[in-house]
Amino acid sequence: MSLFKQLLLAICLFLLVAFAGSFVVSLETSRGQYANQLRAHAQDAATALGLSLAPHIDDPAMAELMVSSIFDSGYYSSIRVVGLDGSVIVERQGGPDGGNAPAWFARLVGLRAEGGDAIVSRGWQQAARVEVISHPLFAVDRLWRSALGWLGWLLLCGLVSAVLGALLLRRQLRPLDYLVEQSRAIARREFLSLPELPRTPELRRVVEAMNQMVEKLKALFREEALRSERLHAEAYRDSLTGLGNRRHFDLQLQSRLTGEERASSGFMLVLRIDDLAGLNQRLGGQQADRLLIAVAEQLRLAASGHDLVARTRGGEFAILAAGLERDAAERLAGRLDQAMTSLYHTGACDRLPVAHLGLTPFSAGEAPGDLYRALDEALAQASSQSGPRWACREPDAVAPPADERDGWYRRLDRALEAGLFRLHFQPVIAAGESGGVLHYKVLARLPDEQGRLLAAGQFLPWLERFGWSARLDLTMLEQVLRHLEAHDGRFALSLTGATLRDPLALERLAELLQRHARLGGRLILEADEDQLPEPAALEALARRLHGLGFALGVQHFGGRFSLIGNLARLGLAHLKVDGSYIRDIDREDDKRLFIEAMYRATHSIDLPLIAERVESDGEWQVVQTMGFAGGQGRRLGEPAPWARGL
């Protein structure tokens, strides 16, 4: 059999297996979704009917009328109103006529009737119970139509794919082009293996040797990445819940409060499980662990993606929500209060209250001790009050001005429109003997009414609240490109997550870069680790920037270490390690172990590491001895306006 026929047969078999598996998985997923919808439908109807019957439960005629009005919609097989003594007050049974789906399909999917119930109250007393059972016929019909459409689409895709595959296989391979592409990928620090070998024996041996080299590098990188991730998890993760631990939380809190560029404002929330020790004694350690895991999951669901969630000690959890306003913070506390009550009703805990919550605002410059004291006061207040089980306390007696939001709105809007932001530059110094400047980090400064320059940490949270982060990125990029036109040097500029997630903003950014493509070798665009898009979108962004001649770097790296497995394909200019892991690295050996593992992983793909927030001689000495390419921080140079001697 010819190679063409073998490959075509393999493609057809693969498509058959893939499409069949996709069809089965899609059908099973849809079945599960419809089953959940049936349960939700029945429960919603029961709840609504229970609330509606409350004032009329002693009027049988009205109760029957209300039950009939819902039952006659045809979506239910049974609706019953049962008294507390078991007597049936109202009952309607039946079902719709036969649907469009064949009987064998209905038997195959096996959708069952799902039910829900609710309590009818008379004042503060329970008067009756409503039982509702949804009929699955309508769900089966919809599932049948969906299955037909999905099957037709898969067959069409399979046919088109088979035809296109046959046409593509007839084209002769161009091994030299493949070799050139692989060589260019290695130069970009991308490690690609060629899936098909050329027919020419000499070229085949060359490609095989390059593939072996690439696979060895990738295997080494994966091994070091896994080791680094394991060390990070041991040092900064809670083994039971998978959340960050107290050490990780304090590092990030310190960064938010003291880091000039990363400092921000927002709210900090602490949740403390009530009487965890007593729960251990009453229900046992396993039940207590399950409660902790359930609480952690509720916190994950309630917090947004960029909030920091951690388990700070035994039964205490914390959320650090940068950029959160008071109304949103109070709504978050209310949702968590309800979630804790639901854990009691589901049997995760044997008594109420399950937990108390404390809430306090934070801003740059505050001491962590003051925040924790305010949270302790809030928890004490929450435990003593009879209403909601959460309370909010200010870390000091001074409340923010009522018109602060309007003032920031006008000031930032005017600054963005008029381009009032000023550029400051902080040198990134090489760690070698030369000690030269690798590039300059571009930082934004905003003059206030008194002429003082505000650091980014003071106005970035407000830009995020107003949804203007992308506007700032484009404004800063325009100013940096004008600076590049007039001055020499290499520079790095940060992009916010709002720009990375907005296709329109990315298009405008790409247009600006394309008009200044000749400056591409002198500008690196950096993205925060916690604001990176999905791997596929990130890879597409990196390739697009490379195509325009610009480089991509990642800053504040270290919190989501699992991302390091995807870095080999991106061709990054550098990786900047978050300053929280560099702080006191000369005195904390566990940080050195983690950073050494990170260095081994990145060194295997020749990816330079740069240390952020180097602020002491000891930290700089350790950074130099560990193999970092360079460092950035006050020890090496303060941010300053551009000057001729800079």
86: left (phi over 0), alpha (psi -120 to 50) or beta: left
Residue located via tokens 């400092």:
263
Q: What is the mean pLDDT of residues 284-297?
A: 90
- Per the DSSP assignment, residues forming a β-bridge with 427 are 440
Distance from C-alpha of 268 to C-alpha of 260, rounded to nearest angstrom: 19
Task: Return phi, psi of residue 237, to 5°.
Answer: -125, 145
Please report the pLDDT score of residue 356 as a whole number.
92
Mean pLDDT, the chain, whole residue set? 81
State pLDDT tens for residues 35-57. Answer: 787 778 778 888 888 788 778 77
Confidence of residue 611 (pLDDT cuts 50, 70, 90): very high
Distance from C-alpha of 595 to C-alpha of 235, rounded to nearest angstrom: 12
Q: Which two tokens stand for residue 110?
A: 């096996």
Cβ pair 235, 247 in contact under 8 A: yes
Q: What is the mean pLDDT of residues 9-19?
A: 76
Fill in the amino acid letter for 310. A
Report the candidate in 462, 465, 474, 551 with the shortest Cα–Cα distance to residue 506.
474
Please report the pLDDT score of residue 600 as a whole number.
79
Distance from C-alpha of 448 to C-alpha of 433, rounded to nearest angstrom: 41
Residue 270 CA, chain-centre distance (Å), reads: 21
> Which H or E element spans position 555?
strand 551-557
Distance from C-alpha of 139 to C-alpha of 27, rounded to nearest angstrom: 13
551-557 and 308-313 beta bridge pairing: unpaired
Lowest mean pLDDT among 223-232, 392-401, 596-605: 392-401
Please report the pLDDT score of residue 36 as a whole number.
80
- Per the DSSP assignment, residues forming a β-bridge with 394 are none
Confidence of residue 645 (pLDDT cuts 50, 70, 90): very low
Q: Looking at mean pLDDT, say which of 121-130, 200-209, 548-557 comes out highest.
A: 548-557
Percent of the chain residues topping a pLDDT of 70 = 85
Q: What is the mean pLDDT of residues 561-576?
A: 73
Please report the pLDDT score of residue 97 as a whole number.
60
Cβ pair 221, 604 in contact under 8 A: yes
Q: What is the mean pLDDT of residues 160-174?
A: 67
Please report the pLDDT score of residue 1 as a whole number.
58
Distance from C-alpha of 268 to C-alpha of 252, rounded to nearest angstrom: 12
Cβ pair 370, 395 in contact under 8 A: yes
All residues at 6 or more sequence positions from 237 whose CB lies less than 8 Å from its CB, including other chains: 243, 244, 245, 248
Please report the pLDDT score of residue 444 as a whole number.
92
Q: What is the mean pLDDT of residues 437-455?
A: 89
Cα–Cα–Cα angle for 609, 615, 620, rounded to 5 degrees:
50
The DSSP output letter for 517 is G
Q: What is the mean pLDDT of residues 3-19?
A: 70
Higher local confidence (pLDDT), 533 or 272? 272
Distance from C-alpha of 566 to C-alpha of 221, rounded to nearest angstrom: 10
490: left (phi over 0), alpha (psi -120 to 50) or beta: beta
The HSE-up count of residue 143 (CA atoms within 13 Å, CB side) is 28
Lowest mean pLDDT among 57-66, 365-374, 376-385: 57-66
Confidence of residue 403 (pLDDT cuts 50, 70, 90): low
Distance from C-alpha of 100 to C-alpha of 108, rounded to nearest angstrom: 15
What one-character-per-residue DSSP string does 467-512 give?
Answer: T-HHHHHHHHHHHHHHHHHHS-S-EEEEE-HHHHH-HHHHHHHHHH
3-state secondary structure of 523: strand
Q: What is the mean pLDDT of residues 546-562?
A: 82
Distance from C-alpha of 57 to C-alpha of 52, rounded to nearest angstrom: 9
Q: What is the mean pLDDT of residues 71-97?
A: 77
Please report the pLDDT score of residue 399 as a whole number.
47
pLDDT above 70 (res 8): no
Put the strands of the sheet holding 125-134 in their side by side order. 88-93, 76-83, 125-134, 114-122
Confidence of residue 194 (pLDDT cuts 50, 70, 90): low
Distance from C-alpha of 240 to C-alpha of 217, rounded to nearest angstrom: 34
Please report the pLDDT score of residue 325 as a whole number.
80
Please report the pLDDT score of residue 99 as a whole number.
62
Q: Which two tokens stand for residue 607?
A: 């990816």
Distance from C-alpha of 209 to C-alpha of 207, rounded to nearest angstrom: 5
Q: What is the mean pLDDT of residues 503-516?
A: 92
Distance from C-alpha of 255 to C-alpha of 237, rounded to nearest angstrom: 18
Residue 274 CA, chain-centre distance (Å), reads: 30
Strand ranges (E), 285-436: 308-313, 316-322, 355-362, 390-392, 422-430
Distance from C-alpha of 371 to C-alpha of 253, rounded to nearest angstrom: 10
pLDDT above 90 (res 477): yes
Residue located via tokens 């590491």:
609
Put the strands of the sheet holding 390-392 in their side by side order. 308-313, 316-322, 266-273, 355-362, 390-392
Query: Peptide bond before 201: cis, by omega within 30 degrees of 0?
Result: no
Please report the pLDDT score of residue 177 as a whole number.
63
pLDDT above 80 (res 170): no
